[in-house]
C-alpha cells in the first residue's frame, strides 16, 4: 500500500501538521544563497547574471536576449496540432479574463467628487520555468491577464539550461506577441527584473512559478517590486462520497503527485469502502506512470486518505487545509459549495478533473498553495491593475468637513494637519 488511510482524529491532526511544515520549512540555507545572488546582481548587473547562467545552466552566453527572429525560428519547430491546442487554450483564457476587468468609478455629493481610478501597471516581468520541464501554459496564464489589463511592457525570463529551448514555450510567446524575452532563470533572473541591469529594465511586478530558489528570490525582492504570490509545491484535495468513481479519484490524485516529490494529494471521504477501493486502484494506476518514482515519493510522504464521519466534517478539513485545487465528487457537489471557504480553485463533479483548469478551461492556473488560499486569490487581471483614489472638494464641501478634520488632527497631535484647514478659513 502506498497511500495511507488516516482514521483517527489524532492521526488526522498529525497529518495536517505535516502539511503545514511542508509549506513553511527548510528554506534557511536557500535564503542565504539567494541573498548573495541578489546582492551580486544588484551590484554587478549583467555580468553577474551571465556568470550565474554559466554556472547553473551550463550556458555560455554573451547576450541575454532571445531576439524575435530566434523566437520565430524555435516556434517553427513546434508540432502544428500542439500549436492549435495552445490557440484554443489562449482563446478560452482570454475570454475568461476579459470578464475580470474593473472600471474606474466616481460619485458626487453636491460639488464634491469622490472615486477610484483604475490604471494598468506599466511594466511586468514573467518568469517561465525551464529545466526538468517546460510549460507553455505558464506563458498563457501569466501573459494574457496582463495583456487584458493593458500592461504597456511585458518581459519574460525563460531559462534554457544546456541551451535546450522548448519550441512550445516559444510558440506560446510568439502567439501572444511578446518581444522582450531573456534566456535566464533562477534567483539571478528575479534579481535582474527587480533591480534592473544595463540590458533588462526594472519591472513593477514579477509573476510566474519557479523552484524554491525562484520563490525565495521573489519573497526577498517584494517591496522593491510587487509579486503575485509565494508559490509552493502543487496540491490537490478531493472530497468524495460513496457515489464517486475510485478510478477517477486515483487518476486525479496522481495528476498532482507526478509534479514533484513535495506535491500533496489528499482524499477526504466518509466512505470506508471508497477509501479502500481508491487505495487499491491508485497502486494499479501508479505502476503505469512515466514519472512513477516522483509520484510514489509524493504519495508516500504527503498523500493520505482522511476518513471522516460525514461530509460536513470533510468540508471542515478541506477549509482548514485550504488547498490549491479542490475537487468535489459527491452525489450533489453544488450542495457543498456554500460551505467551502478556502480553496484556490473549486472543481465540481466527476467530469471536471483539475488538469482541465491547468490547460484549457479558462480560469487561471496560478493559484495559492500551502494553505494561503485562506487569504490569496488566483492570478487575474486585477493583479496587473492599481487603484488611485480620486477626491475633489468645492469650498462648500470643504467647510462641511473642516471642523471634523480639525478635531481629529488635534487629538492626534498633528498641528500642521489642522493648519491646512485654518489657512483656508483665513482666505475665505
Measured between alpha carbons, how far is 408 from 216 in angstroms, rounded to an integer? 42
* From 180, 235, 324, 327, active-site residue: 324
Residue 153 appears among annotated catalytic residues: no
Picking from 58, 269, 7, the residue whose alpha carbon sits closest to that of residue 163 is 58
Measured between alpha carbons, how far is 208 from 89 in angstroms, rounded to an integer? 18
Helix 186-195 × helix 28-44 angle, to 10°: 50
Picking from 256, 168, 153, 245, the residue whose alpha carbon sits closest to that of residue 205 is 153
Rounded to 5°, the CA angle 183-366-350 comes to 130
What is the separation, in whole angstroms, between the first and last Cα of the chain? 84
Residue 324 appears among annotated catalytic residues: yes
Are 244 and 350 in contact by the 8 Å Cβ rule? The answer is yes
SS3 assignment for 301-327 = HHEEEEECCCHHHHHHHHHHHCCCEEE
Backbone angles phi, psi at 162, to 5 degrees: 65, 15
283 burial level (CB within 10 Å; 0-12, 13-18, 19+): middle
* From 97, 259, 325, 365, active-site residue: 325
* Residue numbers annotated as active site: 324-325
Amino acid at each position: 500500500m502506498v497511500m495511507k488511510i488516516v482514521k483517527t482524529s489524532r492521526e488526522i491532526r498529525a497529518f495536517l501538521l505535516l502539511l503545514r511544515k511542508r509549506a513553511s520549512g527548510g528554506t534557511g540555507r536557500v535564503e542565504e544563497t539567494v541573498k548573495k545572488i541578489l546582492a551580486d546582481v544588484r551590484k554587478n548587473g549583467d555580468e553577474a547574471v551571465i556568470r550565474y547562467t554559466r554556472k547553473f545552466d551550463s550556458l555560455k552566453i554573451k547576450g541575454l536576449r532571445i531576439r524575435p527572429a530566434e523566437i520565430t525560428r524555435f516556434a517553427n519547430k513546434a508540432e502544428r496540432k500542439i500549436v492549435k491546442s495552445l490557440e484554443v487554450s489562449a482563446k478560452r483564457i482570454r475570454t475568461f479574463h476579459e470578464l475580470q476587468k474593473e472600471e474606474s468609478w466616481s460619485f458626487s455629493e453636491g460639488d464634491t467628487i469622490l472615486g477610484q481610478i483604475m490604471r494598468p501597471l506599466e511594466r511586468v516581468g514573467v518568469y517561465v520555468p525551464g529545466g526538468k520541464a517546460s510549460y507553455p501554459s505558464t506563458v498563457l496564464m501569466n501573459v494574457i491577464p496582463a495583456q487584458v489589463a493593458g500592461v504597456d511592457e511585458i518581459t519574460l525570463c525563460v531559462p534554457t539550461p544546456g541551451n535546450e529551448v522548448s519550441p512550445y514555450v516559444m510558440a506560446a510567446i510568439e502567439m501572444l506577441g511578446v518581444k522582450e524575452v531573456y534566456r535566464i532563470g533562477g534567483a539571478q533572473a528575479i534579481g535582474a527584473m527587480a533591480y534592473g541591469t544595463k540590458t533588462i529594465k526594472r519591472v513593477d511586478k514579477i509573476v510566474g512559478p519557479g523552484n524554491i530558489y525562484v520563490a525565495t528570490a521573489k519573497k526577498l525582492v517584494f517591496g522593491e517590486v510587487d509579486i503575485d504570490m509565494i508559490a509552493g509545491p502543487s496540491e490537490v484535495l478531493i472530497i468524495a462520497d460513496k457515489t464517486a468513481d475510485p478510478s477517477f479519484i486515483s487518476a486525479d490524485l496522481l495528476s498532482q503527485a507526478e509534479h514533484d516529490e513535495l506535491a500533496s494529494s489528499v482524499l477526504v471521504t466518509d466512505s470506508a469502502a471508497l477509501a479502500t477501493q481508491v487505495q487499491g486502484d491508485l497502486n494499479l494506476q501508479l505502476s503505469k506512470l512515466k514519472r512513477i518514482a516522483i509520484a510514489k515519493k509524493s504519495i508516500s510522504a504527503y498523500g493520505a486518505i482522511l476518513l471522516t464521519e460525514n461530509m460536513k466534517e470533510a468540508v471542515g478539513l478541506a477549509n482548514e487545509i485550504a488547498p490549491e485545487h479542490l475537487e468535489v465528487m459527491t452525489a450533489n457537489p453544488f450542495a457543498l459549495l456554500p460551505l467551502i471557504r478556502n480553496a484556490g480553485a473549486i472543481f465540481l463533479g466527476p467530469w471536471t478533473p483539475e488538469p482541465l483548469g491547468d490547460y484549457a478551461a479558462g480560469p487561471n492556473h496560478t493559484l495559492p498553495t500551502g494553505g494561503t488560499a485562506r487569504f490569496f486569490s488566483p492570478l487575474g487581471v486585477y493583479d496587473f491593475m492599481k487603484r488611485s483614489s480620486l477626491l475633489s472638494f468645492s469650498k462648500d464641501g470643504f467647510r462641511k468637513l473642516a471642523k471634523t478634520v480639525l478635531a481629529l488632527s488635534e487629538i492626534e497631535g498633528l498641528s500642521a494637519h489642522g493648519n491646512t484647514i485654518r489657512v483656508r478659513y483665513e482666505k475665505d
